[in-house]
Amino acid sequence: MRLWGPTMAIDVTTVRLGLGGFFGVLDTELRRWLGRRGLFHLVLWVAGINGFVYFVVATGNKPFGSLGYENLLNALMVFPVFAGIILAEATVVGEYRSGIAAWLVSKPVARGGYVAAKLTGLWIGLSVAAVLIPGLVANWWLPQVTPYRFVIPDAPVFGRFLIALGATMVVLGFFISLTGLLGVLIRRRGPVALIAMVLWLVLRFAPSQIRPSWYRYLPTGLMKADLDLNGWIPGMEYIHGNPFDPASAVWATAATAVVFVAGAMLLYRRLEL
């Protein structure tokens, strides 16, 4: 008895974009994040990030709130991004080498759809479990231990905080997609993560003297001190005489991430599985 027709419901738009099967693979990935994997990450990241911030607050000598938020945003910009690099490498290179990628693309799934769905699923899962929820938990208890609030002029307090978390997620997406592209190019675990981490260090610690004028369009602006309280005040941060524009940096970083994913999709089509 035939339960469903094999040629039914192939979405023309996703096929044209080389994304056929995207939603099927994404569904599978998100189910993992809604299960034990998600729970494990959630507990790990909520405890880890908040424990780290509490440790800094309890042992620091600055005003509690300022120190807490500053370190919260820095921690969210470091640890989840490194985890994202390692998990993206495990997904792209690990599944290619183990044969799981071959299994999935032997189904009605385009290679582009497979790569895009895997990276998107990882980004969504890690963003929620390692950035958004730990950040919100910290935002709940930090003001309780200090009168200082996360204040940025011209914006609602909580809204600005959410924007900061959103910018962190964009940077996470940038490094996940970069690692995905490197994984498709190099296909060896170890070197892929190493290159991505070195790039993170270069972008994070590049001295301001050598930053080119297009610096503001790289995730560097979002990664460095710009994400702390002062950095988000327009006009406070100048690069080569130009004020740093966080909105441009967010859009440019997001666009670069999309380009990396598109590159990974194109290159994956040429792999022998």
Q: Which residues bind other proteins (CB under 8 A)?
A: 2-11, 15, 20-21, 24-25, 27-28, 37, 98-100, 102-110, 270, 272-273
Distance, in Å, from the CA atom of 234 to the CA atom of 153, rounded to the nearest integer, reads: 9
Q: Residue 238: helix, strand or coil by DSSP?
A: strand
Phi-psi sector, 242: left (phi>0), alpha (psi -120 to 50), beta: beta
Smallest separation, CB 110 to other proteins (Å): 6
Smallest separation, CB 4 to other proteins (Å): 5
Smallest separation, CB 270 to other proteins (Å): 8
Residue whose CB is less far from other proteins, 67 or 104: 104
Residue whose CB is less far from other proteins, 41 or 224: 41
Angle between helices 64-89 and 111-126 (to 10 degrees): 150
Contact between 259 and 229 (Cβ < 8 Å): no
Residue whose CB is less far from other proteins, 183 or 231: 183
Smallest separation, CB 83 to other proteins (Å): 18
Distance, in Å, from the CA atom of 184 to the CA atom of 271, rounded to the nearest integer, reads: 8
Helices (H) and strands (E) in the chain, counts: 12, 2
Residue whose CB is less far from other proteins, 20 or 231: 20
Residue whose CB is less far from other proteins, 20 or 246: 20
Eight-state DSSP code of residue 144 = H
Smallest separation, CB 26 to other proteins (Å): 10
Smallest separation, CB 31 to other proteins (Å): 8
For residue 20, with 0-12 CB atoms within 10 Å meaning exposed, 13-18 middle and 19 or more buried, which class applies? buried
Smallest separation, CB 248 to other proteins (Å): 38
Residue whose CB is less far from other proteins, 187 or 211: 187
Distance, in Å, from the CA atom of 143 to the CA atom of 27, rounded to the nearest integer, reads: 37
Long-range contacts of 160-163 (CB under 8 A, 24+ apart): 160/232, 161/135, 163/232
Contact between 216 and 248 (Cβ < 8 Å): yes
Length of the chain as a residue count: 273
Residue whose CB is less far from other proteins, 37 or 160: 37
For residue 58, with 0-12 CB atoms within 10 Å meaning exposed, 13-18 middle and 19 or more buried, which class applies? exposed
Smallest separation, CB 24 to other proteins (Å): 4
Assigned token pair, 239: 């690069």
Residue whose CB is less far from other proteins, 107 or 240: 107
